[in-house]
Chains A and B, each alone.
Chain A
Amino acid sequence: MDNGYRPSIVGFLCNWCSYAGADLAGAGRSEIKPYLSVIRVMCSSRINANLILTTYLWGADGVLVAGCHPGDCHYEKGNYYARRRFALLKKIMETLKLEPERLQLSWISASEGKRYAEVVNTFAETIQHMGPSPFRTHIKL
């Protein structure tokens, strides 16, 4: 359902699993909506609330953080920390009147090319449907 809005989405992908999965989506020529730009980090645990909230403040309508499936983290525990921080951040977003649905944490393995495409497209649709982020319209830096 296209309401014509073109969302700006930032995706933080971990180098070992999710970035590889995204590459595989490309190798498989999956069709992905052109609203999400990828930033590569070594581990999803590099990402924290500060980084994510700043991203919203600067105009992101949606943020996707992708890492390895629990148990598969290249650095063993990183994605568990990401998961914990993320859960906490979701709660904080409610108080900030920033819809928690604008933030998504997905576990994507290196072999899940098609799934990466599905995750991004579904998320893009959701964000498109939600329209511009309230942070984007009310806060100017």
Chain B
Amino acid sequence: MYPNFVLPAPLQGVAVVTLVSVVACALACDARASRPAIEPSAGDQELSARVSAIVERIRLLEPRLLRDLPPEVKIVQWRNRRP
């Protein structure tokens, strides 16, 4: 799915490489680097602002992930498509 993306070392060997695993790994590594945690936002903050904060953090941690997103994942798929 992400042919150009080189897996972080902690994920090499997992059963299924997923975006969840890549993002979880990046955020966990970041937490270990003692970066201040961001307070989880409640519904009162604009959704778009919350998503922007996520994107910026991921861009900082794993810029290749955003750069290598294939075009097909930018389309919402029919419900009987495979995962």
A pairs with B: no
Chain B residues with CB under 8 Å of chain A are: none
